[in-house]
Structure 1
Amino acid sequence: MTTGLDSEIGGTEAAAERRDEVVAEVTEHAGRIARELARLQGGDYGQADFETEAGTWTLKYEAGDVQYLRFDGRGADVYVVSTQQPPDPDALATAMADYDAFVAAFNEHVRSLAGVLDDVNSDFPAIEPVDSVVAERERILGQMREATDAMARQLQRYEGGDYGTFSARVTDNGGSGGSRRGSSGSGGSRWELKWEDGRTSYLRVGGEGGIYLLSQYQPPSAHDLRAHAPNFPGFVAAFNEEIAAESESLEDVSL
């Protein structure tokens, strides 16, 4: 009984080698398209679709390299170039029959953009400088920081520690409403000065999630500063009232 196990098996080396040669050539050629596409789209990565009569080609690229080139045609969905695995030789042959049409579609896309910016007006209006606004903001914030640093030094001497906070509620007319340190008070906005080593860490209005008038990061907007700066004297007054009240209470202590 003959089983056929001795029959010669056909080799696939030639087909695989030719497939690899074609993929390498396409990768190099499509890589040039990818680099031109990246220049056109203005980024290091992206993808674009190109329609032909036989189907759709999708080119995805990153940092000038082809991530994949896919052909989606009638009855065929082939990754001609991929970082995963090479295509089947038959599927590759089907896609490559339409490759010239893909390149033609890309070229037509580029030609369609010729002159598209010719009528764009580049005579732009003058930009209003922000120098005066920034200078005034820095002047106001500088005066605030000078005052809060003075308060921080007094608090460090008074409390005998290296860091702490002072908070008070200040009404919109600048008056204080409950100046006890750390108290919530009633009415008005909550102002909080956090200090460390006799210097201002931050000055915040509105509690957690509020507006930082002074901080180690960025300054407030001009609108936020305009809204809260008029009430800053009320915060300083609340501090002075607090210190005066504490001093009077200490004077009543008999030893």
Structure 2
Amino acid sequence: MTEGLEADVDGMDDVAKRRDELAARVRTHAGEIARELAVLQGGDYGQETFDTDRGSWTLKYEAGDVQYLRFDPKSGDEIYAVSSKQPPEPEALETAMMDYGAFVAAYNEYVRSFDGLLEDVPEEFPEIESTAELVAERDRVVERIRDVGNAMACELNRYEGEYGTYATTVSGTRWELKWDGDAVSYLRVGGSDGTYLLSQYGPPSAPEVRRLADDVEAFVEAFNDHVDDLEADLSQVSFGERP
């Protein structure tokens, strides 16, 4: 009854070692293909599938290195020849390796299919018109508007306080000026999602400046009317006669 228990058990260490060595070589070799694909396709990650007579191979890569190499035979289960989880079973790896050469040949054919692809692409292109003059004119107009905004900020600071906002409606659109001390922080047209004609960041586009510049005068006139109303109110203040 104990004869079977006394028999030697064949070890799998040698098989597992050979499997691991082969899997490491496949990972290194497929990693070269992954890097070439990343360079060719111009991205840090992606995947490509290559068909062979026995099935198809899908190589997924990220950051120029292989994430997995999967063999889908025409019959049987898929095999991950390279995986981030665990190496394949020895028999599965052997099955995949029987078609690995065909996979590499399919990859090489894929690369050769791009030969001459860019030969007819022109190397010279039309000259590009400069925007320097337009930008300079835009900046000049914006700077004039900023001078007006700073003058308004100075008056508002004197009367209203160190910082705040002044808003009015021009041609049915809300104009809002925010000041901080004697300087304008922003001049916004069109509410919270509107255009910043003046801001602490860059100027608006030239078309936006063109669209809004004509209404700056009306905005200033509305502000002046606001100031006149304030002066009129103050002129009516009386402290009465002293007893």
Partner in structure 2 of residue 149 of structure 1: 150
CA contact (8 A) 1:76 1:91 kept: no
Q: SS of the residue aligned with 2:167?
A: strand
Distance 1:15 1:240, change over 3 A: same
Partner in structure 1 of residue 237 of structure 2: 253
Amino acid paired to 1:242: H
Amino acid paired to 1:108: E
Distance in 2 (alpha carbons) for counterparts of 1:90 and 1:6? 29
Partner in structure 2 of residue 216 of structure 1: 200
Aligned residues: 238
- 5+ residue gaps, structure 1: 172-187
Q: 1:110 deviation in Å?
A: 1.0
What do the CA deviations read for 1:145-167 (whole angstroms, capped 9, x no partner)?
A: 11111211211111123x21111
Distance in 2 (alpha carbons) for counterparts of 1:148 and 1:53? 75
Partner in structure 1 of residue 111 of structure 2: 110
Q: SS of the residue aligned with 2:146?
A: helix
CA contact (8 A) 1:60 1:66 kept: yes
Q: Scaled by the length of structure 2, what TM-score is found? A: 0.92
Q: SS of the residue aligned with 2:124?
A: coil
Q: Scaled by the length of structure 1, what TM-score is found? A: 0.88
Q: 1:198 deviation in Å?
A: 2.5
CA contact (8 A) 1:44 1:64 kept: yes
CA contact (8 A) 1:56 1:72 kept: yes
Q: SS of the residue aligned with 1:102?
A: helix
Paired residues for 1:125-204 under 5 Å? 125-161=126-162, 163-171=163-171, 188-204=172-188
Q: 1:4 deviation in Å?
A: 5.1
Partner in structure 1 of residue 214 of structure 2: 230
Distance in 1 (alpha carbons) for counterparts of 2:44 and 2:226? 59
Q: 1:216 deviation in Å?
A: 2.2
Q: 1:3 deviation in Å?
A: 9.6
Partner in structure 2 of residue 119 of structure 1: 120
CA contact (8 A) 1:35 1:65 kept: yes
Distance in 1 (alpha carbons) for counterparts of 2:202 and 2:94? 60
Distance in 1 (alpha carbons) for counterparts of 2:232 and 2:131? 48
Partner in structure 2 of residue 50 of structure 1: 50
Partner in structure 1 of residue 79 of structure 2: 78
Amino acid paired to 1:154: E
What do the CA deviations read for 1:26-78 (whole angstroms, capped 9, x no partner)?
A: 11111111111111111222221111111121111122211111111221311
What do the CA deviations read for 1:52-108 (whole angstroms, capped 9, x no partner)?
A: 111121111122211111111221311111212211211111111111111101110
What do the CA deviations read for 1:189-224 (whole angstroms, capped 9, x no partner)?
A: 100111223322211111121111122233222222
Partner in structure 1 of residue 93 of structure 2: 92
- 5+ residue gaps, structure 2: none
Aligned Cα RMSD in Å?
1.7
Distance in 2 (alpha carbons) for counterparts of 1:250 and 1:24? 89
Q: 1:2 deviation in Å?
A: 5.5
Q: SS of the residue aligned with 2:78?
A: strand
Q: 1:5 deviation in Å?
A: 5.1
Amino acid paired to 2:65: D
